């Protein structure tokens, strides 16, 4: 499959940031607070720190691509059939992830803002824009990200300023009330939501335009994740400071509820839609990228020449899969809490480790063969 | 219910009309098969949805696979 599309490394940074903020801006505070209570903000900091070794691993793999795309790299390393099986598993992963993301959009919209609209309508329209984004390709998505990126931060900035009067520091105390065990559990859950999903960018790294400086790609990855991570830290901290641990854990969308409390002199009110806007923008980028990756994986499984024609039928599947992916919100929360981190962690940690180990063995074998040949001569 | 099924089938036909001629003309046989496969999965799910069939969540398979590890982690950390 040829790659005509190229993105700049600055655009890559923006994509990573938006991807990291993605679902987590609404989902992370409640999930983490359920486990770690008022220490949830510590967990979000640990999350960013643990993200670095992961990215180090990914950058190491990306640096040995040498002009190949991810799938060719895997196939060269592991062989044809293992490569195909991995692409198929990744395809399933991407489809499930996009379906879960769209499900969250629909759930949020139906329960919070478009109360009278049927869920199917919201799902269909969201899938439609994801298909359009996917068909235009990664280059257009990256440029869309460039346009939307300042808006996300502008809206976030206004929200954070407007919320300052509501903050109460005593809500963070007592720290470590139940020891450090809840922190571990919170970290476990939190890692799965943005950080273990970042490995998808391994598929997209080959699309970065190489300008001779390869270390820039690595830097772009780090900067993107750090920016996204800081946003998540601030959002979680704000949710705890305005609502307290109890309400943050109990609400489905604590950051949205937190934004609802804004009322400046009874004039500036109801600016929680800013948060909804941030959420829609970032989750659109995330689901469009995941969707795009899923078509790349499928095209690789069957060695297809093109991937564009896959988008419409795959979107068609997504519309109905989203209805079936989780029957209710309780099932969804339980899945995210208990299984998601392990599922995505398999691909985020085990797969890169496997690739790196095999690559190291191959290199050693090659050197030994070379050495033996030189010995003969 | 009847009209929902008709709607889903019409939508599938429309998607088919949009892409199939192009694939057919360029003699992309493998691509055509993958396309039709995806479309039929979508059609199947769509019809199941129209008659309110209660399909189990595909995530349950993943949950079952990871349950042992998940139990160990949550028991040791709680």
| pLDDT tens string A192-235 | 888 999 999 999 888 888 766 566 777 888 999 999 999 999 99
Nearest in space to A259 (alpha carbons), one of A338, A163, A187, A173: A163
Asked if A11 and A205 touch (Cβ cutoff 8 Å), the reply is no
pLDDT at A147: 93
Q: Is the pLDDT of residue B50 over 90?
A: no
Contact list, A323 vs chain B (CB under 8 Å): 45, 49
Contact list, B12 vs chain A (CB under 8 Å): 316
Mean pLDDT of A286-294: 93
The DSSP 8-state label assigned to residue A347 in this structure reads I
Q: Is the pLDDT of residue A144 over 80?
A: yes
Residue linked to tokens 């793999």: A61
Question: Residue A68 — left, alpha, or beta (φ > 0 → left; ψ -120 to 50 → alpha)?
Answer: beta
Asked if A228 and A248 touch (Cβ cutoff 8 Å), the reply is no
Answer yes or no: do A321 and B45 touch at CB < 8 A: yes
Interface check for A188 against chain B (CB to CB < 8 A): the answer is yes
Mean pLDDT of A239-255: 86
Nearest in space to A36 (alpha carbons), one of A249, A183, A209: A183
Collapsing DSSP to helix, strand or coil, A32 comes out as helix
Q: Mean pLDDT for chain A?
A: 87
**Residue A359 to residue B54: CA distance in whole angstroms:** 46
Dihedral (CA of A107, A109, A112, A114) sign = negative
pLDDT at B53: 84
Interface check for A52 against chain B (CB to CB < 8 A): the answer is no
Q: Which residue of A has its CA nearest to B8?
A: A316
Answer yes or no: do A313 and B28 touch at CB < 8 A: no
Answer yes or no: do A338 and B74 touch at CB < 8 A: yes
pLDDT at A52: 92
pLDDT at A1: 46
Interface check for A310 against chain B (CB to CB < 8 A): the answer is yes
Nearest in space to A127 (alpha carbons), one of A105, A143, A142: A105
Q: Where are the domains of chain A?
A: 9-376
CB atoms within 10 A of CB B23: 19
pLDDT at A212: 60
Interface check for B77 against chain A (CB to CB < 8 A): the answer is yes
**Residue A285 to residue A304: CA distance in whole angstroms:** 25
Give the range among A106-115, A158-167, A168-177, A300-309 with minimum mean pLDDT: A168-177
Alpha carbon distances (Å) from A179 to A37, A45, A175, A183, A215? 11, 17, 9, 8, 41
> Closest Cα of chain A to B3: distance in Å?
15
pTM confidence score = 0.92
ipTM for this model? 0.91
Exposure on the CB side of residue A77, measured as CA atoms within 13 A: 25
Interface check for B5 against chain A (CB to CB < 8 A): the answer is no
Instruction: Provide CB contacts within 8 A for A73, sequence distance 6+.
Output: A61, A64, A65, A355
Q: What are phi and psi of A269, to 5 degrees?
A: -135, 170
What fold, for A9-376?
A: Amino acid/polyamine transporter I (1.20.1740)
Mean pLDDT of A320-338: 88
Contact list, A188 vs chain B (CB under 8 Å): 73, 77
Interface check for A80 against chain B (CB to CB < 8 A): the answer is no
Query: A-B interface: how many C-beta pairs under 8 angstroms?
Result: 97
Answer yes or no: do B38 and A188 touch at CB < 8 A: no
Answer yes or no: do B34 and A303 touch at CB < 8 A: no
pLDDT at A316: 92
Q: Is the pLDDT of residue A67 over 90?
A: no
Cross-strand partners of A263: A269
């Amino acid at each position: 499959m040829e790659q005509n599309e190229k993105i700049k490394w600055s655009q890559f940074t923006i994509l990573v940031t938006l991807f990291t903020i993605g679902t987590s801006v609404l989902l992370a505070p409640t999930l983490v607070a359920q486990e770690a209570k008022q220490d949830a903000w510590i967990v979000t900091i640990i999350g960013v720190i643990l993200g670095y070794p992961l990215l180090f691993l990914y950058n190491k793999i990306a640096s040995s691509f040498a002009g190949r795309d991810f799938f060719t790299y895997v196939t060269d390393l592991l062989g044809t059939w293992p490569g195909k099986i991995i692409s198929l598993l990744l395809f399933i992963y991407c489809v499930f992830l996009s379906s879960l993301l769209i499900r969250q959009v629909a759930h949020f919209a139906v329960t919070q803002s478009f109360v009278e609209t049927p869920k199917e309508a919201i799902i269909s329209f969201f899938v439609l824009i994801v298909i359009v984004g996917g068909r235009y390709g990664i280059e257009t998505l990256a440029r869309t990200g460039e346009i939307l990126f300042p808006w996300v931060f502008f809206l976030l900035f206004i929200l954070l300023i407007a919320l300052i009067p509501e903050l109460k520091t005593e809500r963070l105390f007592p720290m470590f009330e139940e020891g450090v065990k809840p922190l571990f559990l919170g970290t476990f859950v939190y890692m799965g939501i943005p950080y273990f999903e970042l490995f998808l960018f391994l598929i997209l790294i080959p699309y970065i335009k190489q300008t001779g400086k390869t270390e820039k790609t690595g830097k772009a990855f780090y900067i993107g994740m750090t920016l996204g991570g800081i946003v998540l830290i601030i959002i979680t901290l704000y949710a705890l400071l305005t609502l307290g641990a109890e309400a943050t854990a109990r609400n489905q969308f604590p950051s949205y509820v937190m934004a609802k409390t804004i009322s400046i002199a009874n004039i500036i009110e109801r600016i929680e839609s800013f948060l909804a806007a941030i959420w829609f923008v970032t989750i659109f980028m995330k689901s469009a990228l995941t969707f795009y990756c899923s078509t790349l994986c499928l095209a690789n499984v069957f060695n297809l020449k093109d991937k564009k024609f896959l988008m419409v039928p795959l979107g068609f599947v997504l519309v109905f899969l989203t209805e079936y992916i989780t029957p209710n919100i309780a099932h969804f929360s339980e899945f995210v809490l208990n299984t998601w981190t392990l599922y995505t962690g398999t691909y985020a940690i085990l797969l890169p480790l496997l690739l790196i180990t095999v690559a190291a063995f191959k290199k050693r074998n090659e050197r030994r063969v070379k050495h033996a040949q030189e010995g003969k001569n | 219910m009847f009209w929902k099924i008709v709607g889903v089938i019409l939508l599938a036909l429309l998607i088919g009309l949009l892409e199939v001629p192009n694939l057919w003309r360029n003699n992309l046989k493998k691509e055509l098969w993958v396309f039709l496969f995806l479309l039929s999965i979508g059609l199947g799910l769509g019809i199941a949805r129209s008659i309110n069939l209660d399909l189990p969540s595909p995530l349950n398979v993943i949950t079952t696979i990871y349950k042992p590890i998940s139990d160990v982690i949550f028991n040791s950390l709680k």
